[in-house]
Amino acid sequence: MEGGIPLIGDKFPELEVQTTHGPMKLPKVFAGKWFVLFSHPADFTPVCTTEFVAFQKRYDKFQELNCELIGLSIDQVFSHIKWVEWIKDNLNEEIKFPIIADDTGKVASTLGLIHPGKGTNTVRAVFIVDPQGVVRAMLYYPQELGRNMDEILRMVRGLQVSDKEGVAIPANWPNNELLGDEVIIPPATDEETARKRLQEYTCYDWWFCHKKLS
C-alpha cells in the first residue's frame, strides 16, 4: 500500500466509521463475507440517486453471493438519513445497506477517493473486498457517469468462481463470444502439462483451453 491508498492484493485498511446503521469497524464487520464499498460524490444528486436505487434493487443478488454493500460520501449522517428517507418516500425503494458518513474526509483520503480537481467531492469508486479482507478489484468513474451494477455483480461472481475452480474468467462472461459460459484453464508452464491439456480439455491451442463449470 503506497501513501495509504490500497491497491489490488492489499489488505483493506482498518477503519472506524460512522454509518446510517451505527458505528462500524472495517473490514472486521464483514469478516467471512465479501463486501463492496462504493463512494458517491454527494447526497441529493440525480446520478447518485439512480445508483443507490440500482444497488438496492440488486441487494438480494449480492447477498446470495455472501456479499454486503456499504456506501460512502463526504456528507453528515443526518444528510444520509434524510436522503434515504427521500428515496423511500418518492421512489418507493428502501435502502437497506449502510452508508458511511465521512464528513471529515478522513476515510475518503485514506482510500484515495478525493479528486484534486473536484473540490471535496468523492469520486465514484468501487472496492471489491474478499472474506479475508483483501482488495480484489477497484473501479473509478467520473462524476458524470453512473456505474453498471450488473457488472459489479458479475465481478464478484467471477472472482468467486476463479477462487473456487482455479480458473480465469473470459470477457463478458458468462456470455463470452467464443466460450459462452465456460471458463479458461490457466496456461501450462511446462511441455508435458501442455500436451496433457490438449487431451483433457477443449482447446484452441495448448495455451488456450477451456471447460464448463463443474
List the catalytic residues.
48
d(CA 144, CA 62): 25
Going from the C-alpha of 198 to that of each of 149, 202, 203, the distances in angstroms are 37, 7, 6
Report yes or no: 179 and 161 within 8 Å, Cβ to Cβ.
no
Rounded to whole angstroms, how far apart are CA atoms 144 and 34?
A: 28
- Cα–Cα dist 69/53, whole Å: 13
CA 30 from centroid of its chain's CA atoms: 14
Exposed, middle or buried by CB within 10 Å (0-12, 13-18, 19+), for 5?
middle
CA distance to 6, 13, 30, 112, 188, per residue, from 3 (Å): 8, 12, 24, 9, 37
Which three cell numbers mark 141? 468513474
Distance of CA 38 to the CA centre of its chain: 7
